[in-house]
A and B are shown apart, each in its own frame.
Chain A
Amino acid sequence: MTGLAAIGAGLAVIGAGLGIGTIGGKAMESIARQPEAVGDIRSNMILMAALIEGAALIAILLGILIK
């Protein structure tokens, strides 16, 4: 059962990794297109990455708690 929870936590991390990777890639792309908007893009990128990370953290916490 503990192993299953760990696999679930790992799956959540894969999802979050894909999401944060997409955000980072798109942000780089938009900075390249519009370098003058770098400040806005950067703070929004960090905000979005933090929100996705939150979902992954809840999954990891459940992985620790469910035994």
Chain B
Amino acid sequence: MRKIILSFLIFAGSLAFGFAQENHSESEQNEASHEQHASPEHHDEGHGCACHEHHEEKFDPAATAFHHTGDANVFQIFGTLFMPLPCILYAPDQGLSFFMSSKFGKLDAHGTGTKAVGRYVLVDGSVMRVPEVKFPIEEVEIECVNHNKALVGTDSVDVYEVVYHGECYDLEKKSTLDGGILGGGLTSFYDFSLTKNVLTMILTFIVLFWLFRQAVKGYAARKGQAPKGVQSVLEPIFTFIRDEVAIPFLGNKYEKYLPFLMSIFFFILGLNLIGQIPVIGGNVTGNLAVTMVLALITFFITNFSGNKHYWEHTLWMPGVPALLKVLILTPVEIMGLFIKPLTLMLRLFANITGGHIVMVIFVGLIFIFGESGKNLGGGIVGTLMAVPLTMFMMALELLVALVQAFVFCILSASYISAAIEEPHHH
């Protein structure tokens, strides 16, 4: 019981400390913008484009949640302390650029840089590009980045513009393949950077490799004896997936698909669990591009291992009137081929991102009640509410991490089993 109270207090303390940090950096920002406003030297004869005052009285939980669950080109450790990551950017008209993201100058608490490098600007932790050729290609100091809301149809869209020498230059979207759901899209440049998510993936890979190496060494050293250490953690999970997923679904052909099922299970589980750790974890399985690739692997394995029976029952099933086949069944089956990986992709993405967003919003209660640092009493009430809720959510997320890895694995196995099933002759 004392341990629980102690951990609760530590958690509350760290949250309150984070609150103070945010507060501090925001007041710093306000000072900075005031200074800029006061200095009269930035009056160019241009189009009268200036930096907006920061109106950050209103805390926007949705925007904060999306910002924190998204990928970034820097690794935010604490407040304004960032770990730079390499940026590998390619634009067809200016070629390949390779530099560290520390070149973007000193970053504020949101991860917006003060310098432009080769028409690239760091906005909220993501690289964006100025498509205009008028903008200088060398490293220049920018005045600020303005964040506007534009109305497209009935929908308000975030638009960013960079202010340089009194003129505004529109910024493109960030280069993320997410179908525009999280503000990314196809752009004139391609971002191949080693981002936060890639770094987390490499970290997961190293951890998994080390764990399995230990287990393999253990089997070699203690042949025929009871497992010990890492072995006794991994062996039950491994045998569970083999006996509950692979053998019931795939029958006697399970050995061919076991490596794939194990890799996908442990990779997703590792990413989900590392994503739970504050500071070091990126939200990798909550990234639509990552889950899309995982689902595509299942899609290709399923369809390349499909036998004659599978294709016959997908495209031209016997014993059904031809008209019915052409009009309804075959189109539905062909749609089903693509809907299966689509749901795999969305399920993992939605579950993990949903959990993370709820967690960010629970922490955001502190800022909502505290009115972004103006109301200390409200902040304390918010902290007292946020701490148990966040702890509960994190415990739930540990369960979700395991269940989603298992579901991805079991569904992949069931799709493959449908593709390799032998016909029953009646």
Contacts and interface: CB of A to CB of B under 8 A. Distances in A.
Contacts of A55: 343
B410 interface: yes
B181 interface: yes
Contact of B343 (A43, A46, A54, A65): A54
Contacts of A1: 154
A37 interface: no
B154 A50 contact: no
| Size class of the contact patch on chain B | 20 to 34
B297 interface: no
Interface in B46-101: none
A58 interface: yes
A63 B410 CA distance: 27
Most buried by B among A40, A43, A46: A43
B343 A58 contact: yes
Interface in B316-339: 339
B105 to A, nearest CB: 35
A57 B407 contact: no
B347 A2 contact: no
A7 interface: no
B25 interface: no
A39 B347 contact: no
A61 interface: yes
B120 interface: no
A64 interface: yes
Nearest to B414: A47
Shortest beta-carbon contacts, A-B, top 7? A54-B343, A57-B346, A50-B407, A67-B155, A43-B244, A57-B350, A47-B410
